[in-house]
Every structure is written in C-alpha cells, then in structure tokens.
Amino acid sequence: MADLPAAAVKRLLTKHGSELRSAGSAVDAAVAAAENYIARLAKLAADSAQEDKRKTIMDGDIARARERLGG
C-alpha cells in the first residue's frame, strides 16, 4: 500500500501537467516513482547526517542529497 496519498499526487499531476486528466494507473505509477525518489533522497540525507555525527536530518542534508540525485 502506498504511503503517499494518491489524491495529492493526482493534484500535482493535474497542476503541472497542463491541466490534463490522469488515468488511475498513471497516478499509481507517479506515486510509486515519487516514493522511490523520496526513499533514495532519505537514504542519502541520512548518510550525510551520520557522516556529520548527527541523529537529525537537516535541510542541508536534503540539499546535498538532491545534488547527488541530480535534482
């Protein structure tokens, strides 16, 4: 079961997809892709925090993780 709410992802697809409608399977695929990206982002951010000997992920960790992921 997805952790991200499909309705929120569907709103983002509509907002950034030229107001086109999205098929249910497309929303499901977008949810899976977003969850995958966030999982990779979280892992890299956690690695960054641990390298700095912190137990808290900070915004700088997210920024570094985004750079490493190319986004």
Total count of domains within the chain: 1
DSSP state of 18: T
pLDDT score at 57: 98
pLDDT score at 10: 95
Write the CATH number for 48: 1.10.20
pLDDT score at 2: 62
- The reply to whether 1 falls in a domain is no
pLDDT score at 1: 52
Q: Are 14 and 22 in contact (CB under 8 A)?
A: yes
The token duo for 36 is 């995958």
Walk along the chain (71 residues) in steps of 10 and give the mean pLDDT of each run.
Answer: 87 92 96 97 98 97 97 67
Give dist(CA 38, CA 42) in Å, integer: 6
**Residue 53: domain span:** 6-15+23-69
